[in-house]
A = this chain, B = another copy of it.
């Protein structure tokens, strides 16, 4: 199958190129980027030297549709919805990596992103692309909204508890630690090496745009409204997200650590990319670096009846481009793991 990548010059786009190069079922036939239109892929990204003849092009919908049947859109929010409708109308299947189709309510979208949604008719048909909770809908979708990196980690850490209903997932705090590539390839003092190296800091505490997405999905799983406190932190590493989630146990239930682990084991049975660690072990981001796996570790602080559930993903793979390919595999009826078998690069 021929695929296109729109917005291919950013980190998510480059990661799609890297992953798809090893995918046996597809070939990359169209690569668009605005700022770098005309540049050779390999000149911008020496690690992609194998894409020798290929250059970034300025996006044109007809061209995209004539060259490929399946498109990944890796544009910033707001830009995506300028491109996706034409692709969908033109009959292509699309995985959109931006936030534009993740939130079902256009008003909520406007509140958090400060933009009017210009293709609200697609919100209903868009499917949230987290295969571990939504595989069936993804299989039948034409437009998949690929989850954000933080929501991927937080939701995978919490979904098994959320499924037990709102009482099982109260007072949730998600303290997340992200590598700097999470902020993208754009230039900022925050991403300047000399400022980020050797430092940890919180940012956008309680106000990060990934909050509504997490709450909507967890609420849907729980069957009732879930609110959480979300505090992202910048950590001096390139890749990786660790979400450490704290959940007050339902005092009525008094679950043991083993029972909690069994709930997770059940939930993630037959989910090839979620690895549940032994009790007492917690995940480290490096173990999933470059891979599509999500490692989950669990603990129970009995003294205060608090569950600690931590999930680690590579923000550019399971948190972005790998997940997008996983969704494509499901949409195409292929084996979910196709092209995504690579293990983490450690150490």
A residues with a Cβ closer than 8 A to B are 11, 14, 18, 21-22, 45-50, 171, 173, 175, 177, 179-181, 185, 187-189, 191-203, 205-206, 227-229, 231, 233, 235-240, 242, 244, 246, 248, 275, 277, 281-291, 293, 295, 297, 299-304, 306, 308, 310, 312, 341-347
Query: How many copies of this chain?
Result: 4
Nearest-Cβ distance from residue A18 to partner chain B, whole angstroms: 5
Given the known inter-chain contacts A175-B175, A303-B227, A308-B206, please indicate yes or no for A198 contacting B201, CB distance below 8 A: no
Q: B residues within 8 A CB of A299?
A: 205-206
Given the known inter-chain contacts A180-B193, A185-B194, please indicate yes or no for A287 contacting B345, CB distance below 8 A: no
Q: CA A227 – CA B341 in complex, angstroms?
A: 44
Q: B residues within 8 A CB of A202?
A: 242, 244, 282, 297, 308, 310
- What are 17 pairs between A and B in contact, CB < 8 Å? A46-B344, A47-B289, A177-B200, A177-B233, A191-B193, A192-B193, A198-B198, A199-B285, A200-B240, A201-B242, A201-B312, A202-B308, A205-B301, A206-B306, A227-B303, A233-B242, A238-B347
Given the known inter-chain contacts A201-B282, A282-B202, A343-B47, please indicate yes or no for A194 contacting B177, CB distance below 8 A: no
Q: CA A172 – CA B178 in complex, angstroms?
A: 23
Nearest-Cβ distance from residue A143 to partner chain B, whole angstroms: 29
Option from B191, B195, B206, B306 in Cβ contact (under 8 Å) with A229: B306
Interface of chain A, main secondary structure: mixed
Given the known inter-chain contacts A180-B194, A237-B197, please indicate yes or no for A205 contacting B282, CB distance below 8 A: yes
Given the known inter-chain contacts A185-B192, A231-B244, please indicate yes or no for A289 contacting B46, CB distance below 8 A: no
Nearest-Cβ distance from residue A86 to partner chain B, whole angstroms: 31
Q: CA A287 – CA B175 in complex, angstroms?
A: 21
Q: B residues within 8 A CB of A282?
A: 201-203, 205
| Inter-subunit contact A342/B343 (CB<8 Å) | no
Given the known inter-chain contacts A289-B345, A343-B18, please indicate yes or no for A192 contacting B192, CB distance below 8 A: yes
Q: B residues within 8 A CB of A288?
A: 47
Nearest-Cβ distance from residue A293 to partner chain B, whole angstroms: 8
Q: CA A221 – CA B286 in complex, angstroms?
A: 40
